């Protein structure tokens, strides 16, 4: 599969979990890939490079607009520009709003929302010049509905869906699209911590805790896989999705169908 041959994809937060799966899928489709994140960098690079394309890495702190701009500049200089931007970087903190630390709020809004704005603004220069581009924002089911104890995350993801729609409208007459994907429970390190916390709190085994947490929200009772999300992103980057604009595409086991 080489539908994206000659394209360069920048995927933020891509050294593990959803971001790494997306990076691997885009590489499999023929794209060169620039990784970003603080996970196992060498292992992530090797996993993506196994598909044959060029792989780069930039360690931008997604809380900092200047470092995000430097990452885009690096991609422009080393890879000729950003054709596909996947804004995936994200963090989570779970606590009631009256106990929510202000610094955690600021970091979640910066990484989960503001970073997408800064990266999009910088990447659009090259995309507009070429008349083609794909921007995919990894939002969440929490960009569509809320859950308790996740005030900052829900606020950021709702904001990311709104940003997606606005950017899509501004680009509607161009060859650049902007869409969001909205996963429910996905088997990632972030979700695994929440499953482990529930197991500890209820004094039950991890498998039982995972089934209980997922079953509370997702009628399918199954977690979404990172690979399924990668395939959805690859579709949104394809010519077949040229007129998919401004959607918030849920992949959530039926969570938001209720």
| 0.85 surpassed by pTM | yes
Q: What is the pLDDT of residues 171-213, one digit of tens each?
A: 999 999 999 999 999 988 778 888 999 999 999 999 999 999 9
Domains of the chain: 8-184+225-257 (3.40.50.720), 187-223 (no CATH)
- Catalytic residue numbers read 153
Contact 111, 38 (CB under 8 A): no
Strand order in the sheet with 133-138: 55-57, 32-35, 8-11, 84-87, 133-138, 176-183, 248-251
Q: How many helices (H) and strands (E) does the chain have?
A: 9, 7
DSSP tag of 4:
T
**190 vs 231 pLDDT, higher one:** 231
Give 163: exposed, middle or buried? Use CB within 10 Å, 0-12, 13-18, 19+: buried
Q: What is the pLDDT of residues 57-99, one digit of tens each?
A: 999 999 999 999 999 999 999 999 999 999 999 999 999 999 9
Report whether pLDDT(1) > 70: no
The confidence band for 101, taking pLDDT boundaries of 50, 70 and 90, is: very high
Q: What is the pLDDT of residues 133-146, one digit of tens each?
A: 999 999 999 999 99
């Amino acid at each position: 599969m080489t539908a994206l041959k000659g394209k360069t994809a920048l995927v933020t937060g891509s050294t593990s979990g959803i971001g790494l799966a997306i990076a691997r899928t885009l590489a499999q489709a023929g794209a060169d890939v620039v990784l970003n994140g603080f996970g196992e960098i060498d292992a992530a690079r090797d996993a993506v490079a196994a598909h044959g394309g060029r792989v780069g890495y930039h360690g931008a702190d997604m809380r900092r607009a200047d470092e995000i701009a430097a990452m885009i500049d690096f991609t422009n200089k080393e890879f000729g520009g950003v054709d596909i931007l996947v804004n995936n970087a994200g963090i989570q903190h779970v606590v009631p709003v009256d106990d929510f630390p202000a610094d955690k709020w600021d970091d979640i809004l910066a990484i989960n929302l503001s970073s997408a704005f800064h990266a999009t603004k910088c990447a659009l220069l090259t995309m507009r010049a070429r008349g083609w581009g794909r921007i995919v924002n990894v939002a969440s089911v929490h960009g569509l509905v809320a859950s308790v104890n996740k005030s900052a995350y829900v606020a950021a993801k709702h904001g990311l869906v709104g940003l997606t729609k606005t950017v899509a409208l501004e680009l509607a007459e161009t060859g650049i699209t902007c869409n969001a994907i909205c996963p429910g429970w996905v088997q990632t390190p972030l979700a695994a911590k929440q499953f482990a916390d529930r197991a500890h709190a209820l004094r039950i085994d991890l498998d039982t805790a995972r089934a209980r947490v997922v079953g509370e929200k997702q009628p399918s009772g199954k977690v979404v896989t990172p690979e399924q999300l990668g395939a959805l992103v690859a579709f949104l980057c394809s010519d077949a999705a040229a007129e998919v604009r401004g959607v918030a595409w849920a992949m959530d086991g039926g969570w938001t169908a209720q």
